[in-house]
């Protein structure tokens, strides 16, 4: 059973704070890492797909890095806003067709 | 371009009844994935289908659960003789190409199944 860990489980920050969370995953047979953003009562929405060691992707105030050798990825949010409040899921893909989702980091940004 | 559609959004069944969950992928997508989210748990893969083929059903319970994606029409996840433990949110996702070409999966809004 592949174990994907995300930390912290939940995070409360003030508007304007920058924050980051971690996704750890087994690195054997790794193929790609997906990050999703999941707002309450909505569908998970893809943020990034990363494949190469050292990959760094950015979308607005959100960025992510990937270390495939040691099996981790960081997601950063600069200057958090209330609309960033959501659960952030990571999901590595191995040499199969299925994504293995972590349990997510629940972010709440207070105005 | 409509997104992934799932219906019904909410489904209530009594123990022993059948539940049918439907998923219409995005236009042009021929790959469908079903996931289940049990209370207080994350998304768990159930099954991956292409048109008329089950590619990977390693996450499906061995009994009572089945899935299909016919040539025409939506993908169906069928749960026979439901039990209370089947109560969960069931999400469908679609992609245009087969993994592992790194295509993101587009998720539907989910069907929340409640078994009384």
Summarised one tens digit per residue, pLDDT across range B7-48 is 999 999 999 999 999 999 999 888 999 999 987 788 999 999
Report yes or no: A5 and A99 within 8 Å, Cβ to Cβ: no
Residues A6-58 pLDDT 10s = 999 999 999 999 999 999 999 888 889 999 999 988 899 999 999 888 899 99
- Interacting residues of B64 by C-beta distance below 8 A, sequence separation 6+: B79, B80, B81, B82
Q: Torsions phi, psi of A78, nearest 5?
A: -95, 130
The answer to whether the Cα torsion of B3, B7, B10, B16 is positive or negative is negative
pLDDT value at B99 more than 70: no
Nearest CA-CA partner of A74 in A50, A96, A98: A50
Contacts of A29 in chain B (CB under 8 A): none
Q: Among A57-66, A75-84, B99-108, name the one with the lowest average pLDDT.
A: B99-108
Strands A10-14 and A105-110: parallel
Is residue B98 very low, low, confident or very high in pLDDT (cuts 50, 70, 90)?
low
> With pLDDT > 90 as the criterion, what percentage of chain B qualifies?
75
pLDDT at B101: 55
Report yes or no: A92 and A4 within 8 Å, Cβ to Cβ: yes
Q: What is the mean pLDDT of residues A76-86?
A: 96
> With pLDDT > 70 as the criterion, what percentage of chain A qualifies?
97
pLDDT value at A1 more than 90: no
Radius of gyration, CA atoms only, chain B: 13
Contacts of A102 in chain B (CB under 8 A): 42
Contacts of B108 in chain A (CB under 8 A): 43
Is residue A85 very low, low, confident or very high in pLDDT (cuts 50, 70, 90)?
very high
Q: Which residues pair with A50 in a beta bridge?
A: A33
Q: What is the mean pLDDT of residues A76-94?
A: 95
pLDDT at B38: 86
CA dist B58 to A1, A56, A102, B45, B46, Å? 12, 32, 18, 8, 7
Helix, coil or strand: residue A83: helix
Q: Torsions phi, psi of B84, nearest 5?
A: -60, -35
Q: Torsions phi, psi of B62, nearest 5?
A: -70, -30
Nearest CA-CA partner of B114 in B85, B81, B87: B87
Joined tokens for residue B29: 């997508």
Residues of A in CB contact (< 8 Å) with B are 31-32, 34, 36, 42-46, 49, 51, 89, 91, 93, 95-104
pLDDT at A29: 84
């Amino acid at each position: 059973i592949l174990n994907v860990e995300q930390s912290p489980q939940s995070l409360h920050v003030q508007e304007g704070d920058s924050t980051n969370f971690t996704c750890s995953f087994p690195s054997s047979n790794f193929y790609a890492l997906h990050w999703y953003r999941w707002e309450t009562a909505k569908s998970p929405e893809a943020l990034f797909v990363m494949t190469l060691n050292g990959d760094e992707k950015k979308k607005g105030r959100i960025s992510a890095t990937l270390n495939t050798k040691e099996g981790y990825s960081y997601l950063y949010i600069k200057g958090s806003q209330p609309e960033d409040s959501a659960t952030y899921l990571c999901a590595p893909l191995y040499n199969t067709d299925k994504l293995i989702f972590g349990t997510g980091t629940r972010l709440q940004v207070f105005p | 371009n409509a997104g992934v559609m799932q219906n019904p959004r909410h489904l209530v069944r009594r123990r022993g009844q059948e539940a049918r969950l439907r998923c219409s992928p995005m236009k042009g997508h021929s790959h469908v994935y079903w996931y289940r989210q049990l209370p207080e748990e994350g998304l768990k893969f159930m099954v991956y289908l292409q048109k008329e083929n089950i590619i990977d059903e390693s996450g499906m319970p061995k009994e009572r659960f089945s899935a299909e994606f016919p040539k025409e029409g939506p993908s169906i996840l069928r749960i026979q003789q439901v039990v209370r433990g089947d109560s969960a949110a069931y999400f469908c996702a679609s992609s245009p190409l087969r993994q592992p070409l790194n295509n993101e999966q587009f998720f539907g809004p989910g069907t929340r199944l409640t078994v009384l």
